[in-house]
Structure 1
């Protein structure tokens, strides 16, 4: 079942009183900025797609610091925006505080779970999509060493790294997977200089394919890899175009679809949780003109076969969140 069908089934139709206009939806971007070419920008693309298709308008806010989280959500709720899509697990505590104060407003949290009667929580099976790009990394690697560079060191990012390492090891059990995290605060999402330094360190240790799951920091990883003549893997949005022919693929996390469908549901959006996994086409890998020469038909066939098995439940990928451990790598 696609996400669209899933949400449609879960969302009741909204009959508006004659003459009453629907409220504008709203989107709050997380640290790193709207145009981070990754997580936030994917959300922006989903909002823009809704606006272009419907002719509707929406409100948006970019926060610059942790201290602005509650203020931003309250400001939009008080303005009458409905629903309000809030980016990032970092807003879990904030939404638990604010949502009860606005019972008639529907909120959507991307990348976290809040159990409130007016909150829809949308999470992603990052480990499933990361497994697929890990397979591609192992098949493309000549050195047998693959790298992973995460942003903030939290379970969510370890989820990416764990899935990736499992995919690498599935293809090459003897492969080495190097891992680094950028930092322990929100600043870790927007430090491309540090990302580049970590990439250079991994390259010096033999890594010839590096997966960056670090928001804006990942742009430095992709640049350093391209400069050194090794391959990189983008994240969230399709980042293949940033360095054509040098980005092996991108692990797609369809935040755009989540935002688009939430805006489309409008005030009729139902609370609860959706896990956007491979079966809901919530994650995947990117293949386009920018990387088509890097992925052979044989590589694609193997990854697509694995994707089908994961989607059907035949192949289970270890979920780091289940026990905070990873069988394929140590963080």
Structure 2
């Protein structure tokens, strides 16, 4: 199957489809620490690849966690003539769309959220598909029939994860139940290791034996907690393949190749191509992937075969599982 991101690159390089190349002046605004193995790290890798291939410098600004400051920097960037501006935190900034409308000459790349605004390109991801596989694995391996989900903030993007996780859980184990908690410490939630650890310990005290964290850098506290608790306690990696760091306690890692998505989008804009306001990626396109921890002794050969079969099904066109996910998780696809 030709991956969607390769099709994007083909469009970016094709003489037949190429528009007049644009003089672009990219700016990326990071909110929070760019720590290895995180979503922001993947975005940075995509930016670095674009710079290496195109020889176009990208201005990178790292800001503290403050939505008001972030919006101010977006506006300053637009006034200074930067375009496109890569906005990695639009999912928790309600007024970003209005800022983009007020700066129609500036192009924006929004990660995780699409807008009906002509100068915003939304790069969105079918998190529910990958989370379905994660939930399926949790359903296979739970011994207490009680698993957990810890998110950073209760927002639609994370509900997409939670919904898919619960559907997959029930597919594998109809007797299993899900407990959900959110850090909900505003924009600081993504880095709140202490609160994430406390929520994990609370869940374990309630007989939860497997937790899926979707909380940015704070997810590390959940993974570390389950590792320190020892045998019978499991978790999952998020955004990046972290299996090698937790060989006995990570069952799998949810990989989100936002680096490939941002690289392809920047290449399109470099070549003057702006043919839609949204590019959507999932398992079928190879941007969302679930990497099973091959070293975890708790995963049997039969487990791995079942997981592999499920992923193959999800890669198929118009398959029943994807249709269920779209319906149950209210994905507008």
What band does the TM-score fall into relative to the shorter chain?
A: 0.7 to 0.9
d(CA) in 2 for partners of 1:145 and 1:321?
21
Q: CA deviation at 1:284?
A: 1.7
TM-aligned CA distance change 1:75 to 1:295, over 3 Å: farther
TM-aligned CA distance change 1:52 to 1:231, over 3 Å: farther
Alignment counterpart, residue 272 of structure 1, candidates 269, 277, 282: 277
Match of 2:113, SS state, is coil
Match of 1:76, SS state, is helix
d(CA) in 2 for partners of 1:26 and 1:242?
32
Q: Is 1:96 equivalent to 2:106 in the alignment?
A: no
Report the counterpart of residue 51 of structure 2 in structure 1.
Answer: 51
Cα deviation digits, residues 148-201 of structure 1 (max 9, x gap)? 111101222122111111111111110122211111622221111111111111
Match of 2:248, SS state, is coil
Cα deviation digits, residues 36-81 of structure 1 (max 9, x gap)? 7322122112212323344442111223211112222223333433
d(CA) in 2 for partners of 1:6 and 1:272?
16
Match of 2:42, SS state, is helix
d(CA) in 1 for partners of 2:281 and 2:301?
27
d(CA) in 1 for partners of 2:281 and 2:49?
19
Q: Is 1:246 equivalent to 2:272 in the alignment?
A: no
Match of 1:162, SS state, is helix
TM-aligned CA distance change 1:246 to 1:323, over 3 Å: closer
Report the counterpart of residue 62 of structure 1 in structure 2.
Answer: 62
Contact 1:153–1:184 (8 Å) recurs in 2: no
- Taking structure 1 as the reference length, the TM-score comes to 0.86
Match of 2:118, SS state, is coil
d(CA) in 2 for partners of 1:56 and 1:239?
31
Report the counterpart of residue 258 of structure 1 in structure 2.
Answer: 261
Q: CA deviation at 1:214?
A: 0.8
Q: Is 1:189 equivalent to 2:190 in the alignment?
A: yes
Q: CA deviation at 1:8?
A: 4.0
Task: Answer with 55-64 or 160-169: which moved more.
Answer: 55-64
After the TM superposition, which residues 123-138 of structure 1 pair with which residues of structure 2 at under 5 Å, given as runs? 123-138=124-139
d(CA) in 2 for partners of 1:87 and 1:169?
32
Query: For the aligned residues, what is the CA RMSD?
Result: 2.5
Q: CA deviation at 1:224?
A: 0.7
Q: CA deviation at 1:263?
A: 2.1
- Taking structure 2 as the reference length, the TM-score comes to 0.85
Aligned pair count reads 317
Report the counterpart of residue 83 of structure 1 in structure 2.
Answer: 84
TM-aligned CA distance change 1:323 to 1:127, over 3 Å: closer
d(CA) in 1 for partners of 2:243 and 2:101?
38
Report the counterpart of residue 177 of structure 1 in structure 2.
Answer: 178
Q: CA deviation at 1:92?
A: 5.3
Match of 1:286, SS state, is strand
Alignment counterpart, residue 330 of structure 2, candidates 322, 325, 330: 322
Cα deviation digits, residues 84-128 of structure 1 (max 9, x gap)? 22113134522432344242x321111112222222111111111
After the TM superposition, which residues 1-331 of structure 1 pair with which residues of structure 2 at under 5 Å, given as runs? 1-8=2-9, 12-16=17-21, 22-30=23-31, 32-35=32-35, 37-64=37-64, 65-88=66-89, 89-91=91-93, 93-103=95-105, 105-183=106-184, 185-229=186-230, 230-267=233-270, 268-270=272-274, 271-287=276-292, 291=295, 293-311=297-315, 312-314=317-319, 315=321, 316-319=323-326, 322=330
Match of 1:251, SS state, is strand
Unaligned ranges ≥5, structure 1: 325-331
Unaligned ranges ≥5, structure 2: none
Contact 1:61–1:72 (8 Å) recurs in 2: no
Contact 1:25–1:266 (8 Å) recurs in 2: no
Contact 1:70–1:98 (8 Å) recurs in 2: no
Match of 1:218, SS state, is helix
